[in-house]
Amino acid sequence: MDIGVFLPIGNNGWLISSTSPQYMPSFDLNREVTLKAEQYGFEFALSMIKLRGFGGPSQYWDHNLESFTLMAGLAAVTTRIKLFASVAVLTVPPALLARMAVTIDSISHGRFGVNIVSGWQKAEYEQMGIWPGERHFEKRYEYCSEYVQVMKDLWASGVSDFKGEFFRMTDCRVSPTPAAKHIDIIAAGQSNRGMQFAAEYADYNFISAGGINDISQVAPHTTRLIAANAAAGANCKAMLLMMIIADETDEAAMAKWHHYVAGTDLEALAWRDAQAGADVKAEAHSTVGRMVRSDRLPTNMLRLIGSYATVARQLDALAETPGLAGVMLTFDDFLIGMEQFGTRIQPLMQSRRHLARAAA
Contact 107, 76 (CB under 8 A): yes
Distance CA 202, CA 184 (A): 7
- Rounded to a whole number of angstroms, the CA Rg of the chain reads 20
Is 191 annotated to bind a ligand? Reply is yes
Q: Kindly tell me if the per-residue pLDDT of 337 is higher than 90.
A: yes
Q: Region of 342 please: left (phi>0), alpha (psi -120 to 50) or beta.
A: alpha
Q: What percent of the chain has pLDDT over 70?
A: 94
Burial (0-12, 13-18, 19+ Cβ within 10 Å), 47:
buried
Note the pTM of the prediction, 2 decimals.
0.94
Query: Tens digits of per-residue pLDDT, 215-245?
Result: 999 999 999 999 999 999 999 999 999 999 9
141 labeled part of a ligand binding site: yes
Residue 359's pLDDT band, with cuts at 50, 70 and 90, is low
Tens of pLDDT, residues 2-18: 999 999 999 999 999 99
Q: What is the pLDDT of residues 19-47, one digit of tens each?
A: 999 999 999 999 999 999 999 999 999 99
List, in sequence order, the alpha helices (H) in the chain.
Answer: 27-39, 67-77, 94-108, 123-126, 135-157, 192-201, 219-232, 250-262, 266-276, 287-293, 308-319, 334-340, 353-359
Confirm whether residue 157 is marked as ligand binding: no
Confidence (pLDDT) at 108: 98
pLDDT tens digits along 121-157: 999 999 999 999 999 999 999 999 999 999 999 999 9
Average pLDDT over the chain reads: 94
Binding residue per annotation — 115?
Answer: yes
The answer to whether the annotation marks 50 as part of a ligand binding site is: yes
Angle at 250 between CA 266 and CA 12, to 5 degrees: 35
Predicted local confidence at residue 277, as pLDDT: 80
Q: Is 226 left (phi over 0), alpha (psi -120 to 50) or beta?
A: alpha
